[in-house]
Amino acid sequence: MKKSIWIGMICLLAGSQVKAQLSLSGEFRPRTEYSHGYATLAAEDQKPSLFTSQRTRLNFDYKMDLLKVGLVLQDVRTWGSQAQLVSNEDFATSVHQAWADITLFKELSLKVGRQELNYDDQRILGSVGWTQQGRSHDLALFKYAGKVNIHLGIAHHENTNRKNNLYDGPDAYKDLQFLWVNRKTDKFYWSLLFLNNGKPETTGTEQKSKYSQTFGTHIEVPIDQVAFSGNLYFQTGEDGANKSLNAYNLMAEANYRTSEEIQWTVGYEILSGSDYDQVEKNNSFNPLYGTNHKFNGFMDYFYVGNHLNSVGLANGYVKFVLTKKKTVVNADVHFFASEAKISETADNYLGTEVDLSLTQTLNPATKVTFGYSQMFGSQSLEILKGGSNGAFNNWAYLMISVTPKFL
């Protein structure tokens, strides 16, 4: 039944493309990963793991006057997790995106439905494209496009139980509102973000949303061959443990292109943290719904489902990119330290991570990427994460990305 519905939709859209534009594309992305110390330090006697995951997507885009529609069907699995002979629909395809973008007036539109949110450098709101499943939100987004761009997003989540208005669903928030204001010129780019994040708190039969506020700015300034960028965000309100929240995020970065082929990036970022003995307040910054894999090392030791309400992070980094025809070489080095105290005697230095990758374009629709990362952890990282800093902590992957355009 489900298959016939999807086939019917495709035929309907294809039949109407005389007066509109229809595009149909796909994505096949298997990735094999070798892990011995990924996300946390390995134990001395820990054996490495090897597995393959795959993301498969079918993307529909439909455009006509005053209307755009997007639909992304997705299947994410680890090879071997599903039986060869499938007898039920437990592994059915999910809907990653399903939205309609309706033009209300000349400069005002409404995008409503399940959608990705990608803003600025994706520090606070991003689609997390590296993860096979990605992130999308159920919300209404009002968009004003002029000399100054303004976006207003509103989300309210409920379960299927409509008797008591209690939300115990899987998402990190019950209510969310954000306002994004942006101005872009040839010489300057700036944006302001205010995000009100409401997590449900239930007492007996009563439930209310406990809010925290994240607000700040992202700036980009290109000057000849150098592009400067920076972030400054603050967080206030209350956390899930009823502690007052007072945290910040600061980032400064310079990107220098020495030639058409070579690019260097030098930067420093601080995410505030709470001292080990701090109990009354929370000074730990939470990057919320950003693409965190992009910022603090590809081995995901920090802020990828971990390191929240902890000692924070100071991250100094150098990145190198070489682009030559169909080949791209990346080399990143991160120097990590805690922003707050780990213990009375522990040093703040956490470790150094090296990330290397090579991407080769085989044809316009196919890329192959090989990556290798090594974490040189300290005793302080061992105190914080467990495991052993003396173990050989490394991670590698081989990924094939095929993105055909069918229509």
Residue 4: inside a domain, yes or no? no
Are 326 and 339 within 8 A, CB to CB? no
User: In a structure prediction context, what are the per-residue pLDDT tens digits for the chain, which is 407 residues long?
Assistant: 455 545 555 555 555 544 679 999 999 999 999 999 999 999 999 999 999 999 999 999 999 999 999 999 999 999 998 888 877 666 678 999 999 999 999 999 999 999 999 999 999 999 999 999 999 999 999 999 999 999 999 999 987 667 777 887 777 799 999 999 999 998 999 999 999 999 988 877 778 888 999 999 999 999 989 999 999 999 999 887 788 999 999 999 999 999 999 999 999 999 999 999 988 899 999 999 999 999 999 999 999 989 999 999 999 999 999 999 999 999 999 999 999 999 999 999 999 999 999 999 999 999 999 999 999 999 999 999 999 999 999 999 999 999 999 98
Residue 165: inside a domain, yes or no? yes
Residue 327: inside a domain, yes or no? yes
| C-alpha to C-alpha distance for 195 and 216, rounded to whole angstroms | 9
Instruction: Please report, for the domain that includes residue 209, its CATH number.
Output: 2.40.160.100
Residue 362: inside a domain, yes or no? yes
The number of domains in the chain is 1
Are 48 and 34 within 8 A, CB to CB? yes
Residue 14: inside a domain, yes or no? no
Lookup result for tokens 């080095």? 333
Expressed as residue numbers, the domain containing 333 is 26-402
- Find all residues with CB under 8 Å of 402, minimum gap 6, and list them: 26, 27, 28, 29, 365, 366
| CA-to-CA separations, 341 to 49, 189, 306, 358, 376, in angstroms, rounded | 33, 36, 18, 37, 20
Residue 340: inside a domain, yes or no? yes
- Find all residues with CB under 8 Å of 51, minimum gap 6, and list them: 32, 33, 78, 79
Residue 3: inside a domain, yes or no? no
Tell how many helices (H) and how many strands (E) occur in the chain: 2, 20
| C-alpha to C-alpha distance for 317 and 258, rounded to whole angstroms | 18
Residue 53: inside a domain, yes or no? yes
Q: Does the reported pTM lie above 0.85?
A: yes
